[in-house]
Structure 1
């Protein structure tokens, strides 16, 4: 059913007007949509045809979204009055006819999105007045060839998306015009490529080339032969989980010797023999992504990639970090083995000792084994390391000063790791040499809080700390001296720690704190009196056991402060009426109000209406009434007594 025009269907947003999904069959009049509108979302409405009068009143349009408006026909000069139009989105419309002069009018149309429009020929695109085009999206259509590319201005074009089409053959003549471009990002993702003429893309310079999931009909060597002579920053040659299985043979990669590339991606590919891969052809490669490439080792010949600075080995099957042979890559600045899928990953002593330039090391989610102690010996030689992620591993025993070798660390994540750290109470903490650390994540077992005063010693520049998932004895966090070493801390996360109580002086040292996350605990009280200031702070008490909120605990919140009480079993009766009334008057100080509900009825607190009488006021009123009645009775008795005296 199509809804006729109605006043006020368009909503003003932060960037423009939203008239989407209203079943409109025409553009609203001036009362519903101002003529000066610059950004308009008109998607999911009903406009079977576009004429030169459809948007004639909206002369200031800069961006127009017509996604899935059931458009079939676009006639001449449909946008002749939109001189300033820069972005036009026509995604999901079955275009049966588009006039050659349909886009005459905009002087600087930069972004044209025609995905899922049933296009089957590039020549059907109305190229008149597209000389300023920078982005052209034609994904998920039925385009069979690249004939027609010459009609566009490739000196301006930066993005051409041809993914999910029916392109099988590419000739040198069709793509020769791309030599006029510089820095183009072009996607052929999920086209079943059969043949590319050798050296078809020779002398073309790309920013990125995407041939992911293009190997169902041809060997990867066919694509690489067609790319001989090309220069690109990024080359993607991966597959997806649902892609047809394929295996890359070493000889199929020989054509890499004729390609200049900085960032090469082989996600989810299978390699028949990684040992014979021609790494010598990749001496200029800076980043190699082998995510889930079913690898358990890399050969020593990876050292031939002299310029490689980033190596991504996520979700593979390595048994030992040493098996990456990363130590033979002296220029390496980032190594990621996140989510290793073998039953365990051994981090042996000295595996990475030659990587003096390494700045990032990610071994998270990998069932890491570090031997008897970690991590001083394992991190030897990594003096420039700035980001270390050891999170979501099993158990780890730290030496007295585990990060002695990496004093330049800015970010350390050991969250969800069962850390054992044995030291005397009088000694300094494990981080005492990490004076530059800004971000710390750790899950700790606080069994003896009297020994934790020095835990954070040395972290005077720390700004963010997550203790999520830590264990506090008896669910009580006390000993405020623990935080005296982090005076610059701004964000503190204590979620999912099983807390039932907080010492009232716990955070008095944290004068810079602006965000405290205490969600997912077992707190029954909103602890606001434990913070240094409530003027500008975000407090997250979501998912606790809070039922009744003391008004005194929230009325001190500043205008720029926020409180999150979502997913608590809040009581919605007269015992909580003062807080409910306060919240309804201070919605601007609450977050996630849609999930701040009554524990039993699940009604949003913003919608609760209670009829409660104050027993205090009622009591005072009754006393006054009784006094009044007593006064009247006494007065009448005295008057009657006077009458008897007169008699």
Structure 2
């Protein structure tokens, strides 16, 4: 007997109500094959061989319970002001946690204890003013920590204890005004540090000691007035240095001497009129080409004989200079508005006139 005989004599009217259910089952089976499902509210759950990923936007609450094999969790734009202390309980395989664009004001001290394998934590655009001192004690695997655009006006060294594997730290866009000298001393694997767009007026010359693997340093958009000669003394691996849009008027002698691998330097938009002789000795040609370039534009350069060292360096490295036409003399009056490159070429031409009695084009 055929298994279909029971329905063979049914009318189309009897079969029609079952069609929506059949379509729903087909749809669910199709999404299961693709690895997608919808649950809980406001979240998409995706299953793969590497574990479960959960992505929530505008979720009414933090998803719970979490799948035991969860590897990626994103709860963003959900206006969460706080998290349960046990929010990550049972998520031992979690590797990435994204909590950006919420209203988080504080974090439970024990939040990360169940997720010892966590490698990425993104807390961008929240309302955090401080961190629990024990928050990262069990976070030995964490490699990326993003705290940008919160309300952190101060930082304490104890808040960052336990981050032995950290490679990327973003503290940009907070209200930071000062940093304790030992804040970063334990972050020996850090490669990228972003302190841009804060209110930092000065930096301790010892701030970066211990950061023996640092390659990218972002300090633009602060209120720095001086770059201490010892700040970068231990940064032999640094390749990118961003200091634009500060209030720098003084760069210490020898500030760049350790930077033998530097590929990019941005000093634009500061108050630099002159720099100490020998500052550029370790940068660019003839020793090593700056692969990505230098920006000195937007400074009120005083084009006198004291700038000769910079002008000679500029001629050797002009192909790597950004915005040459905006890198201009502000004083003296006779040179105001003319480019540094033009001043460098005239000074070189004067120096090349053997036996010339003509005065230097650059005033003493």
Q: TM-score, normalising length from structure 2?
A: 0.67
CA contact (8 A) 2:187 2:211 kept: no
Residue of structure 2 in register with 1:561 after alignment? 320
Residue of structure 2 in register with 1:415 after alignment? 196
Provide the rounded CA distance (Å) in 1 between the counterparts of 2:325 and 2:243: 16
* Higher CA-based Rg: 1
Provide the rounded CA distance (Å) in 1 between the counterparts of 2:229 and 2:76: 44
Aligned: 1:330 with 2:133: no
Q: CA offsets, 1:242-279, max 9 Å, x none? A: xxxxxx9x5x58996xx735333222x241x54xx453
Q: CA offsets, 1:216-258, max 9 Å, x none? A: xxxxxxxxxxx3x3343x77x7xxxxxxxxxx9x5x58996xx
Superposition pairs of residues 190-589 of structure 1, within 5 angstroms:
197-201=23-27, 204=30, 227=31, 229-232=32-35, 260=47, 262-267=52-57, 269-271=58-60, 273-274=61-62, 277-280=63-66, 282-299=67-84, 300=86, 302-322=88-108, 325-340=111-126, 342=127, 344-368=128-152, 374-376=156-158, 378-395=159-176, 401-403=182-184, 406-417=187-198, 443=200, 445=202, 452=205, 454-469=206-221, 471=223, 475=225, 477=227, 480-502=229-251, 505-524=254-273, 530-532=279-281, 533-535=283-285, 536-537=289-290, 538-546=293-301, 552-553=311-312, 556-558=315-317, 561-567=320-326, 576=338, 579-580=341-342
Query: Size of the alignment, in residue pairs?
Result: 312
CA contact (8 A) 2:53 2:72 kept: yes
CA contact (8 A) 1:465 1:493 kept: yes
Aligned-pair CA distance for 1:312: 0.7
Aligned-pair CA distance for 1:302: 3.6
CA contact (8 A) 2:185 2:211 kept: no
Secondary structure at 2:137 match in 1: coil
Q: CA offsets, 1:299-338, max 9 Å, x none? A: 4254233432211110111121218934333332222111
Aligned-pair CA distance for 1:501: 4.5
Secondary structure at 2:169 match in 1: strand
Secondary structure at 1:353 match in 2: coil
Q: CA offsets, 1:356-378, max 9 Å, x none? A: 332222222111366xx6122x3
The answer for unaligned runs of 5 or more in structure 1 is 1-172, 174-193, 205-226, 238-247, 419-442, 584-615, 621-647
Secondary structure at 1:200 match in 2: helix
- Larger relative contact order (Cα-Cα within 8 Å, sequence gap ≥ 6): 2
Provide the rounded CA distance (Å) in 2 between the counterparts of 1:352 and 1:553: 49
CA contact (8 A) 1:375 1:399 kept: yes
The answer for unaligned runs of 5 or more in structure 2 is 1-18, 346-352, 358-364
Structure 1 pair 327–540 and aligned structure 2 pair: CA distance change class (3 A): same
Secondary structure at 1:230 match in 2: helix
Aligned-pair CA distance for 1:381: 3.8
Q: CA offsets, 1:447-482, max 9 Å, x none? A: xxxx73x4543344433333334555xx555x6344
Q: TM-score, normalising length from structure 1?
A: 0.40
Provide the rounded CA distance (Å) in 1 between the counterparts of 2:151 and 2:44: 38
Provide the rounded CA distance (Å) in 2 between the counterparts of 1:409 and 1:577: 39
Provide the rounded CA distance (Å) in 2 between the counterparts of 1:294 and 1:195: 36
Residue of structure 2 in register with 1:88 after alignment? none
Structural RMSD (CA): 4.4
Provide the rounded CA distance (Å) in 2 between the counterparts of 1:470 and 1:386: 23
Secondary structure at 1:368 match in 2: coil
Structure 1 pair 196–541 and aligned structure 2 pair: CA distance change class (3 A): farther
